[in-house]
Amino acid sequence: MTTVQSLVTGARRWRTDVLDGTTWQAALVKAVGFEAAQHARNKLALVLVVFFIPVWLAVVRAIIPSRPVAYQSRITDAPVTVDASRLALISAVINAATLIIGFMLFAAIRRAREFDQRLVLAGYPRPVLLLAKLVALVLVALIVGGYATIVLSMFTDVRQPGMLFLSLLAGGLVYGGLGIALGVAVSTELAGMFVIIMVSLIDVMVQNPVINPGRNQTVLQFLPTYGPMQSAVAATFTDTGSAGCLLLGPLWLVAFAAFGLAAFYLRTKDHTRSDAQPDLVAVTVRLLPDGSFRIESRRGAVLVRTESETG
Helix (H, G, I), strand (E, B) or coil at 28: helix
3-state class (DSSP) for residue 163: helix
With 80 as the cut, is the pLDDT of residue 175 above it?
yes
> Distances in Å between the alpha carbon of 302 and those of 88, 122, 128, 281?
80, 37, 45, 9
Half-sphere exposure for 29 (CA within 13 Å, toward CB): 7
Helix (H) or strand (E) holding 185: helix 161-185
Question: What is the per-residue pLDDT for 298?
Answer: 61
Residue pair 224/206 in contact by the 8 Å Cβ criterion: no
pLDDT value, residue 5: 53
Spatial distance between the Cα atoms of 232 and 234, rounded to a whole number of angstroms:
5
Burial (CB < 10 A; 0-12, 13-18, 19+), residue 161, is middle
* Eight-class DSSP state of 20: -
Other CB atoms within 10 Å distance of the CB of residue 136: 24
Q: Which residues are CB-contacts of 11 (< 8 A; sequence separation ≥ 6)?
A: 119, 122, 123, 124
Residue burial 222-250, b: 16+ Cβ < 10 Å; e: rest: ebbbbbbbbbbbbbbbbebbbeebbebbb
pTM of the model: 0.76
Q: Tell me what pLDDT residue 154 has.
A: 92
User: What tens digit of pLDDT does each residue of 35-79 get?
Assistant: 888 888 888 888 888 899 999 999 999 998 888 888 888 887 777
Q: Left (φ > 0), alpha (ψ -120 to 50) or beta: where does 287 sit?
A: beta
Give every CB contact of residue 178 below 8 A, 6+ residues apart in sequence.
102, 195, 196, 199, 224, 256
Q: Give yes or no for a contact between 97 and 172, defined as CB atoms under 8 angstroms apart.
A: yes
The 10s digit of each residue's pLDDT in 95-133 is: 999 999 999 889 888 888 888 878 777 777 778 888 888
